[in-house]
């Protein structure tokens, strides 16, 4: 067998092992039970011509809301591709989960292989795929976007490293693309990652020969990544103030202040399927994994020993011998020596970042959370466990690499993989299955407009009436009886509605008004909605408890149209992203010209 095919085949094999529950009909029970509904409404909006998708109907208690103006869309774009290929909505969601496991394994292998041999790199890969937090994401929480974030983290580290050592433009482009993809996959992972990434970049900077060039490259990557994802983050950042998100996510049970992890929970905690709660009352486990922790510390100790040993030998070596030592090695030995040196340094850096990530999940890091205000939107400090997974998995492979003897690496690999699967494989199972769940049931009007809408509504427009739940948290004051049965209603006067045509972002009809009338569109008013009567824009009145669109219509026969349009910031964001794509193409074309010549 071709050695190059061995790694992807093994990664696929382990992906199948970790995905056994997905092979059953229906979908298992997860916390974030909105994935199917989100893909369904995304599909409707996209097929109606909305691109990029921002406003969806059915969700938001049947009134629709700008979900994808704020929620990263990438995983649903991917799910939509599977759906277009003929898969149902449930199957498409499961395929995205499956791809996230496989692709993250490939990504880690690509990155680890730059520093480690084939067997140690495979160890890092399997550790990354089978880390406990991954099981929590897939089989407990059902965090589709966070699960796919595992893919981009190693690829970002890899592309930055390749750029630093080669200065090739292709890696500048890839670094920009991977960073942008992380932003539109999960902005709440992107945010803490850009706080951690500078430590890694500092390591690359200090090891770079051309520090001016790497500084220029990093600046350009920042601009390109921001530009590529501007269509999403610019409107999300600016228009957040028009939603109730701050009233929900920064207060009470959603506050990060009550979701810190206790140190003993990182070492070991009973695996469960409940929720995150204050103190030690959590119903789910936040353990890093004993094997991951042990391998991280062991790899760090070995790396330090190698660094000290190498430093001691060079100090004791007479000056003439130092100059003769390098030429005495052949090119292969020089490359291996350099890689081993970098591996030891990188292992030390990653161990520090591993400790920092673990520390940031605990109450002892409260000062950091209080100081960096945007972190409050993460809600859960334990989201930093994705970074402990990243760094500890690399360190597991680094440990094998530092053993030096091939036979020790091979048998060490077998022992570690067997131990890992023995301990962690049982975590990759759901609490319960729903074999009778079908696309029809999961996407019914009642399911989406009430059950799914009741579980997530943070992006409803500001001004919607709020009330207190039994737990004392803010919730919208909407009951099942408020869910509309009609898109358009006459609430004053007498008028007939004819030729009604609706899409998620557009409503058009003919109105025969016998008298001056007041019309209510069962749509939340949000920046971008525009109402015209016979082509003339009219004023929207949303002075009601649910911020619904109402407007006056004079007597007569009229063509009435309501459209969700782009605001200035959305249009600007779209144009910046388009310009950035063209700039990327230009850079690639120029790189191809240079390399071919």
pLDDT digits (tens, 9 = 90+) for 183-228: 999 999 999 999 999 999 999 998 888 888 889 999 999 999 999 9
| pLDDT over threshold 70, residue 315 | no
Q: Check residue 312 and give its pLDDT.
A: 67
Q: Check residue 431 and give its pLDDT.
A: 92
Domain residue limits, the chain: 3-30+72-151+255-427, 488-566
Q: What is the largest CA-CA distance in the chain?
A: 104
| pLDDT over threshold 60, residue 338 | no
The alpha carbon torsion through 543, 549, 551, 555 (nearest 10 deg) reads -140
Q: What is the pLDDT of residues 556-575, one digit of tens each?
A: 999 999 999 999 999 999 99
Q: What is the pLDDT of residues 503-541, one digit of tens each?
A: 999 999 999 999 999 999 999 999 999 999 999 999 999
Q: Check residue 88 and give its pLDDT.
A: 96
**What integer is the mean pLDDT of 11-21?**
96
The sign of the CA dihedral 227, 228, 231, 236 is negative
- Which secondary-structure segment (H or E) carries 117? none
**What integer is the mean pLDDT of 2-30?**
92
C-alpha 478/C-alpha 493 separation (Å) is 26
**What integer is the mean pLDDT of 386-409?**
93
| pLDDT over threshold 50, residue 266 | yes
The pLDDT > 70 percentage for the chain reads 93
Q: Check residue 329 and give its pLDDT.
A: 47
C-alpha 400/C-alpha 395 separation (Å) is 9
Encoded tokens for 591: 């790189």
Q: Check residue 336 and give its pLDDT.
A: 54
| pLDDT over threshold 80, residue 595 | no
Q: What is the pLDDT of residues 409-459, one digit of tens each?
A: 999 999 999 999 999 999 999 999 999 999 999 999 999 999 999 988 889
Q: Check residue 232 and give its pLDDT.
A: 98
C-alpha 364/C-alpha 38 separation (Å) is 37
Q: Which CA distances in Å does 233 have to 221, 245, 581?
A: 16, 15, 16
Q: Check residue 592 and give its pLDDT.
A: 64
- Inter-residue contact 189 to 386 (CB < 8 Å): yes
Tell me 449's DSSP state: I
Q: Give the confidence band of 593 by pLDDT, cuts at 50, 70, 90.
A: low
| pLDDT over threshold 80, residue 254 | no
Q: What is the pLDDT of residues 58-85, one digit of tens each?
A: 999 999 999 999 999 999 999 999 999 9
| pLDDT over threshold 70, residue 318 | no
301: Cβ–Cβ under 8 A, 6 or more apart, which residues?
none
Q: Check residue 211 and give its pLDDT.
A: 86
C-alpha 61/C-alpha 156 separation (Å) is 38
| pLDDT over threshold 50, residue 496 | yes
C-alpha 334/C-alpha 326 separation (Å) is 8
Q: Look up the CATH architecture of domain 488-566.
A: Sandwich (2.60)
| pLDDT over threshold 80, residue 339 | no
Q: What is the pLDDT of residues 357-374, one digit of tens each?
A: 999 999 999 999 999 988
The alpha carbon torsion through 129, 131, 133, 136 (nearest 10 deg) reads 70
Q: Check residue 577 and give its pLDDT.
A: 98
368: Cβ–Cβ under 8 A, 6 or more apart, which residues?
360, 375
Q: What is the pLDDT of residues 83-129, one digit of tens each?
A: 999 999 999 999 999 999 999 999 999 999 999 999 999 999 999 99
**What integer is the mean pLDDT of 251-269?**
83
Higher per-residue pLDDT: 370 or 250: 370
C-alpha 499/C-alpha 280 separation (Å) is 58
Angle CA(589)–CA(591)–CA(594) in degrees, nearest 5?
A: 110
Q: Give the confidence band of 281 by pLDDT, cuts at 50, 70, 90.
A: confident
Q: Which CA distances in Å does 496 have to 513, 532, 562?
A: 6, 17, 17
Mean pLDDT, the chain, integer = 91
Q: Give the confidence band of 56 by pLDDT, cuts at 50, 70, 90.
A: very high
Would you say the pTM of this structure is higher than 0.85? Answer: yes
Higher per-residue pLDDT: 4 or 265: 265
Give the count of alpha carbons within 13 A of 333, CB side only. 6
Which SS3 state, helix, strand or coil, does residue 507 take?
Answer: strand
Higher per-residue pLDDT: 256 or 180: 180
Q: Check residue 403 and give its pLDDT.
A: 87
Q: What is the pLDDT of residues 475-487, one digit of tens each?
A: 899 999 999 999 9
Higher per-residue pLDDT: 300 or 475: 300
């Amino acid at each position: 067998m071709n050695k190059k095919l061995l790694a992807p085949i093994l990664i696929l094999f382990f992906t199948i092992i970790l995905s056994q529950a997905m092979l059953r009909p229906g979908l298992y029970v997860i916390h974030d039970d909105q994935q199917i509904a989100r893909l369904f409404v995304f599909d409707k909006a996209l097929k109606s011509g909305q691109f990029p998708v921002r406003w969806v109907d059915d969700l938001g208690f049947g009134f629709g809301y700008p979900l994808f103006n704020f929620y990263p869309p990438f995983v649903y774009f991917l799910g939509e591709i599977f759906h277009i290929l003929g898969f149902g909505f449930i199957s498409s969601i499961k395929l995205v989960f499956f791809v996230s496991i496989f692709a993250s394994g490939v990504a880690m292998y690509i990155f680890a292989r730059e520093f480690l041999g084939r067997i140690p790199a495979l160890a890092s890969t399997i550790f990354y795929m089978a880390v406990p937090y991954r099981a929590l994401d897939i089989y407990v929480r059902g965090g589709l976007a966070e699960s796919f974030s595992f893919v981009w983290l190693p690829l970002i580290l890899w592309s930055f490293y390749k750029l630093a050592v080669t200065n090739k433009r292709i890696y500048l482009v890839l670094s920009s693309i991977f960073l942008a993809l992380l932003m539109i996959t999960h902005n709440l992972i992107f945010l803490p990652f850009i706080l951690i990434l500078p430590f890694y970049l500092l390591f690359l900077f200090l090891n770079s020969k051309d520090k001016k060039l790497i500084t220029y490259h990093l600046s350009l990557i920042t601009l390109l990544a921001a530009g590529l994802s501007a269509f999403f983050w610019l409107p999300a950042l600016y228009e957040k103030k028009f939603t109730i998100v701050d009233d929900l996510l920064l207060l009470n049970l959603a506050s990060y202040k009550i979701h810190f992890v206790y140190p003993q929970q990182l070492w070991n905690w009973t695996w469960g399927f409940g929720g995150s709660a204050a103190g030690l009352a959590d119903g789910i486990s936040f353990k890093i994994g004993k094997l991951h922790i042990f391998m991280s510390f062991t790899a760090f100790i070995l790396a330090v020993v190698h660094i000290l040993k190498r430093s001691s030998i060079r100090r004791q070596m007479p000056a003439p011998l130092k100059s003769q030592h390098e030429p005495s090695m052949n090119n292969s030995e020089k490359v291996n020596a350099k890689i081993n040196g970098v591996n030891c340094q990188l292992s030390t850096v990653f161990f520090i970042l591993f400790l920092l990530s673990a520390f940031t999940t605990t109450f002892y890091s409260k000062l950091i959370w209080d100081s960096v205000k945007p972190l409050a939107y993460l809600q859960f400090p334990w989201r930093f466990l994705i970074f402990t997974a990243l760094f500890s998995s690399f360190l597991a492979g680094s440990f094998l690499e530092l053993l030096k003897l091939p036979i020790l690496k091979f048998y060490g690999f077998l022992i570690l993989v067997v131990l890992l699967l023995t301990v962690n494989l049982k975590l990759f199972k759901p609490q319960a299955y729903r074999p009778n769940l079908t696309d029809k049931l999961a996407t019914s009007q009642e399911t989406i407009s009430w059950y799914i809408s009741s579980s997530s509504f943070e992006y409803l427009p500001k001004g919607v009436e709020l009330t207190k739940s039994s737990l004392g948290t803010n919730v919208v004051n909407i009951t099942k009886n408020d869910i509309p049965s009609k898109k358009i209603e006459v609430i004053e006067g007498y008028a007939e509605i004819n030729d009604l045509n609706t899409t998620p972002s557009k409503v058009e009809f003919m109105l025969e008004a016998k008298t001056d009338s007041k019309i209510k569109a069962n749509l939340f008013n949000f920046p971008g909605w525009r109402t015209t009567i016979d082509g003339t824009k009219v004023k929207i009145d949303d002075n009601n408890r649910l911020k619904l669109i109402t407007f006056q219509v004079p007597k007569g026969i009229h063509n009435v149209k309501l459209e969700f349009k782009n605001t200035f910031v959305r249009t600007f964001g779209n144009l910046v992203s388009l310009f950035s794509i063209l700039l990327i193409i230009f850079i690639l074309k120029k790189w191809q010209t240079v390399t071919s010549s």
